Structure 1
Amino acid sequence: MANRRISNPALFICDLQEKFRPAIHEFPKVIATTQKMLKASQILNIPVFATTQNRARLGETCPELGLDVPGGVRTVAHEDKTLFSMLTPEVRQAISKFNSPLSCVIVGIESHICVTQTALDLLHDGHKVYILADGVSSCNKEEVPIALARLRGEGAVVTTSESWMYECVGDAGIEEFRQIINVVKEWNQKTKDALQTLCKI
């Protein structure tokens, strides 16, 4: 990732589980954005960290994300937790194996609880944090803009999946750019849908 605008990128997928599907505002849009980010992570060789919240009660990570299954995306860490923050001891241990600080891009739920506490912990530990406005949500949609405003104030960058992907690439001349363009085209309509439903001011 040398000479790119974002150094040491890492994707954090927070608690995208089956039991949340009917409860979270526009949950399918969050899943679609996460699928796009997973595709980009494979192209750009970006490590993926994922968590579940109380898996025994709230279910496994949604199967369409294809995490840690044959032919899917291998995660650096895919941990169950009772903490609201993703930064369990196991995840912290996995992070410690990478060059620090990381540029952490977060998708998942809920914006005002687990996403917020994950972002605050990462910021406290000296990492750069990006929150994707088209990749996070909560049960009550009104919580989302309040959480994003707080996280901006704490030093996180609130952006969108497409903006982050282009910034991560940084140069149309690099080898992977054509593959990233194909991802952008493939998810074009889903990206529009996510922006229109999750990014209303």
Structure 2
Amino acid sequence: MHLMSAKRSRLVIIDFQARLMPAIHDGPRLVANAGKLVAAAKLLEVPIVMTEQNPAGLGATVPELAEAASAITKMSFDACAAPGFIEAISGDEDLILCGCEAHVCFGQTALSLLENKRRVFVVQDAVGSRVPESKEVSLRRLQRHGAEVVTTEMVVFEWLRTAEHPQFRAALALVK
């Protein structure tokens, strides 16, 4: 495995949707961490891809994240089956994943990406489920299949690599 690099990463935001989030355990903290990832990605020019599961039923992306990217609408739980998703993540970048629900859309997408030999980093403090047990089981399963489990701060500081980075102070302010 290797350290994450801003030049070699793509942030993937899965289904942080308005009608779903009130049911997600610790939802506000997860959205806040996803917001930190988005801000760091924009600061460090990391591309962002975002999905919405059945937005007619689950609503649009939460306002805090809605401006991050144009959402790819999907009905399949696995985003890899959604039109336009595979094209949006084409290349060989590391995929930094955050989103909901850990054991359904998020989990199926991550497993498909791993099956397709992509490097997947799961940001555990920006991943949610309605029930904590579902998240825990999903993260263990994903890790067994090759996903690296990381935190928001790990992503930001690995993207920076050094306190001499020109965006260090701005990025540091995001995670403090």
TM-score by length of 2: 0.91
Give CA-to-partner distance per residue, 1:76-132, whole Å, 9 cap, x none.
x51110111222230111222xxx311111111000111111111222222211111
Counterpart pick for 1:181 among 165, 172, 176: 172
Instruction: Spell out the pairing of 1:158-173 with structure 2 (5 A cutoff).
Output: 158-173=149-164
Provide runs of 4+ in structure 1 moved above 4 Å: none
Determine the C-alpha separation between the residues in 2 that align with 1:168 and 1:14. Answer: 21
> How far does residue 178 in structure 1 lie from its aligned partner after superposition?
2.0
Distance 1:122 1:24 in 2: 24
The amino acid that maps onto 1:86 is A
Stretches of structure 2 lacking an aligned partner (at least 5 in a row): none
Instruction: Give the aligned partner of residue 148 of structure 1.
Output: 139
Equivalent pairs, count = 172
Deviations 1:128-147 (A, max 9, x none): 11111110111111111111
Give ranges in structure 1 of 5+ residues lacking alignment.
68-72, 186-201
Alignment of structure 1 residues 23-172 onto 2, 5 Å: 23-67=23-67, 73=68, 75=69, 77-87=70-80, 88-96=82-90, 100-172=91-163
How far did 1:22 drift? Answer: 2.1
The 10-residue stretch of structure 1 (165-174 or 142-151) with the greater mean CA deviation from structure 2: 165-174
Say which SS state the counterpart of residue 89 (structure 1) adopts. coil
Partners in 1 of 2:37 and 2:11 — Cα distance?
A: 8
TM-score, scaled to structure 1: 0.80
Distance 2:33 2:62 in 1: 13
